[in-house]
A and B are shown apart, each in its own frame.
Chain A
Amino acid sequence: MTVTPNGFDLDNTGRRIVVDPVTRIEGHMRCEVNVDDQGVIRNAVSTGTMWRGLEVILKGRDPRDAWAFTERICGVCTGTHALTSVRAVEDALGITIPDNANSIRNIMQLNLQVHDHIVHFYHLHALDWVNPVNALRADPKATSELQQAVSPSHPLSSPGYFRDVQNRLKQFVESGQLGLFKNGYWDNPAYLLPPEADLMATTHYLEALDLQKDLVKIHTIFGGKNPHPNWLVGGVPCPINIDGTGAVGAINMERLNLVSSIIDMCTTFVNNVYIPDLIAIGGFYKSWLYGGGLSGQSVLAYGDIPENPNDFSAEQLHLPRGAIINGNLDEVQDVDVRDPEQIQEFVDHSWYSYGEPGKGLHPWDGVTEPKYELGPNAKGTRTHIEAVDEAAKYSWIKAPRWKGHAMEVGPLARYIVGYAKGHEDIKNQVEGLLRTMDLPVTALFSTLGRTAARALEAEYCTRLQKHFFDKLIANCRNGDTATANVEKWEPKTWPKEAKGVGMTEAPRGALGHWVHIKDARIENYQCVVPTTWNGSPRDAAGNIGAFEAALMNTRMERPDEPVEILRTLHSFDPCLACSTHVMSPDGQELTRVKVR
């Protein structure tokens, strides 16, 4: 057994279970854990299995186009990458954006945040807690009563409504087609909801599907199209003409009214459905407080949603910035993403080489030199790994560290930073939820806490959307309709060489792009994405990463049905699609499940 510098007791002698992807929608990851004879996870190893060379694709390209490439990195956070990219280029070239551009970008970013959180909760994560097969056993009348008890304002609550959904679900399950629900472990005792709560939540799964289609129309309005909305260095690519008419051309009042109605619609859903569901479902899992990992000790947020354009100072950001280390909530440190001593990436356990061991590089100086080699204790072959050797190189993900610390990023990190800083909205939300659920503040440091922070953040973001919408309208009514600054559009206005950084809080955590421009072309481009932080492998000192830490000490009901592993990994909303293989001690595959 070894103890890591960040305080985890690792024991890799027990049975090894491998969680491994085969598809790569948004990235690739695999996890291996050792469980003891009680089914408790005693060692966890997170491996990024995909070469992600976006940085090198961008070399030599026009920096004004970088957003269009970065938008294609990921199947979900397209707009967030694009925003981060235009911010990085603007930072490098000293380009300022108009007030309206800041408001519109914020509305789009907040909209993506709310959309992503809703889709995550209902469509990616819910089935870790909710059992749709069990919903078939529910009594529609009792479900109706439950619905009215948890959310009196939600109109869709009649017994007939739930009976209809149940019948639809039944037909779908019995037809055996296209099993959205086919890969679950529906008789696993880890599922704790009564049938009525399962039916209510499954019904909301469907309601959320309808809602999410309308939510993204905001991106179509401001970005011209969706998926893959348009972005612009210097502002936003949509002129505004408040008094204009028609559905094409400049943004007019008619389309702004549509934006407003979408914001209202998602506010209503979050308040009447999402938050009550979180409380209702969470109430049945209050005793399942595994999965805290690094959240109780080291969390990081860059902050986002600046009140005013071109001002990213911490006190101007609605989503807080800060770093907490060693669990000291009394001290929130500021974060400077330009400081070469603060953020560094290490590759001692990653399939890259810096030429010397223990070396960390700031992203501006980042190099991406692959070195794929397996450690002496790895099982399998170079092209088909059965088990990695975590004492050696074992991941395509680099290990980013903040002042040498492994950090968790994401909604929970943002909320812990906000709570510790005394951010009024966040503190009120957190305290209110803990009071309602009768839980201590330490309950936040858990898988459930991660899921709860996401819901609270969705609610806060709907309010912020409204704020920036009102600000946009007021500014336009005052006669300022500027949406872009093209003064420095032409490369001849640029310095010969420049460096910049763009930061955002993506739905899944702190995202940074660092760009180095030389002779009007991209010389170096480095992205440190949230899943790089959370999915980080060990570093030279032996600190384990956030996924690894979060899996530690979790007890599995049935080690060959990794519901608990999925629950915790999914709670990070990781940018990956993966597939689970459960291995017996001799390395033979027992079962396999596709997970997302």
Chain B
Amino acid sequence: MPAAPSDSVLILGIGNVLWADEGFGPRCVEALAESRTLPDCVRVLDGGTQGLYLLPFLEEAGSLLIFDAVDYGLVPGTLKIVRDAEVPAFMGAKKMSLHQTGFQDVLATAALMGRLPGRMTLIGCQPAELEDYGGGLTPTVAAMIAPALAEGVTELARWGIAVAPGRTHAPDLADPAIRRDAYEGGRPSADDACRVGDARFLPGRAG
């Protein structure tokens, strides 16, 4: 298999949009595509909670920029950036979220195949609320989308990728029905729809 072109970049949002702040990653990549013009060598992808399905995208990428809700044990809304070897190692060291095992396995598998992207950066945000099933981002975390994107743009600049204000056509994002505005705006009331979660296994709280 030929080596991935070194200038190709994958920008990946991971997380489950149905679990409140878990949706941080997908919402970041949506906002990025709506507010910036990215060159053709950049692919913007909503990875959801997928595991091995993400492998081919990783292998095609010379550089990987991930947005995700990460349980760093910090104050909610804190952004933290880790790079390269720290990305999988860090993710392996902490209980994170819904897709922890899935994405760790993807990285491990790419490593086993010798096809990890040459550069990896994880822009993570400490979630405030994960147990609100059916909910959207909390104001604290929603407010961090813009700073996270700014960090992402800085990182891309470091990789030699020019980013301008505008929009990017990104077919690999969520269906309009579950984009942030439609999803959060269309939520049934608490009376209509029970919002109780199961607190016992929430990341950072369990055992």
Contact = CB atoms under 8 A, between A and B. Distances in A.
Given A24-B201, A68-B174, A59 B107 contact: no
A28 B51 contact: no
Contacts of A23: 95, 98, 100-101
B18 interface: yes
Interface residues of B, number: 55
Contacts of A369: 194
Contacts of B92: 178
B40 to A, nearest CB: 14
Contacts of A26: 49
Contacts of A61: 177, 186, 188
A216 to B, nearest CB: 6
B181 interface: no
Contact of B133 (A51, A206, A216, A385): A51
A276 to B, nearest CB: 23
A436 interface: no
Interface in A327-386: 368-370, 372, 383-385
A22 B52 contact: no
A227 B207 CA distance: 33
A172 B113 CA distance: 10
B171 interface: yes
B200 A69 contact: no
Nearest to B205: A383
Interface string A57-92: 101111001001101110110100000000000000
Interface string A434-460: 000000000000000000000000000
Contacts of B200: 49, 383-385
B47 interface: yes
Given A62-B177, A177-B111, A384-B207, A50 B201 contact: yes
A21 interface: yes
Contacts of B114: 168
Interface string B74-97: 000000000000001000100100
A78 B49 CA distance: 10
Contact of A226 (B53, B111, B174): B53
Nearest to A224: B171
A92 to B, nearest CB: 18
Nearest to A214: B56
B52 A178 contact: no
B193 A225 contact: no
A53 interface: yes
Contacts of A206: 112-113
Contact of A216 (B53, B99, B178): B53
A178 B134 contact: no
Nearest to A382: B200
Interface string A565-596: 00000000000010000000000000000101
B105 interface: yes
B126 interface: no
B186 A72 contact: no
Nearest to A351: B198
Contact of A227 (B53, B95, B193): B53
A368 B102 CA distance: 29
B126 to A, nearest CB: 18
A230 interface: yes
Interface string A164-178: 000010001000011
A255 B21 CA distance: 38
A213 B99 CA distance: 19
Contacts of A53: 133-134, 193-196
B90 to A, nearest CB: 12
B121 interface: no
A68 to B, nearest CB: 4
Contact of B17 (A21, A51, A72, A177): A72
Given A22-B206, A59-B188, A178 B201 contact: no
B18 A209 contact: no
Contacts of A57: 18, 133-134, 187-188, 193
Given A25-B51, A49-B201, A75 B188 contact: no
A225 B172 contact: yes
B197 A51 contact: yes
A212 interface: yes
A228 interface: yes
B63 interface: no
A121 interface: no
Which of B53, B54, B114, B178: most chain A CB closer than 10 A?
B53
A178 B99 contact: no
Interface residues of A, number: 58
A227 B198 contact: no
A119 B207 CA distance: 31
B109 interface: yes
B104 interface: yes
A302 interface: no
Given A68-B174, A209-B113, A384-B200, A75 B207 contact: no
A258 to B, nearest CB: 14
Contacts of A62: 177
B46 interface: yes
A1 interface: no
B112 A75 contact: no
Contacts of A212: 52, 55
Contacts of B88: 177-178
Contacts of B48: 72, 75, 78, 227-228
A72 B18 contact: yes
A180 interface: yes
Given A68-B175, A72-B16, A227-B48, A28 B194 contact: no
A61 to B, nearest CB: 6
A212 B187 CA distance: 36
A523 B198 CA distance: 24
Nearest to B170: A225
Given A25-B102, A50-B201, A368-B194, A65 B177 contact: yes
B50 interface: yes
B100 A56 contact: no
Interface of B: 16-18, 46-56, 59, 88, 92, 95, 98-102, 104-105, 107-109, 111-114, 133-134, 171-172, 174-175, 177-178, 186-188, 192-201, 206-207
Q: Which 5 A-B pairs have the closest CB atoms?
A: A56-B193, A65-B177, A178-B108, A57-B134, A68-B175
Given A25-B99, A50-B198, A168-B114, 17 more contacts: A23-B101, A56-B195, A57-B134, A57-B187, A60-B186, A61-B188, A68-B177, A68-B178, A75-B99, A75-B102, A177-B88, A178-B111, A206-B113, A209-B52, A227-B48, A227-B54, A228-B174
17 contacts: A22-B201, A24-B98, A25-B101, A28-B201, A49-B201, A53-B133, A53-B134, A53-B194, A57-B193, A61-B177, A68-B177, A73-B18, A119-B52, A168-B112, A206-B112, A228-B50, A372-B198
Interface of A: 21-26, 28, 49-51, 53-54, 56-57, 59-62, 65, 68-69, 71-73, 75-76, 78, 119, 123, 168, 172, 177-180, 206, 209-210, 212-213, 216, 224-228, 230, 368-370, 372, 383-385, 396, 577, 594, 596
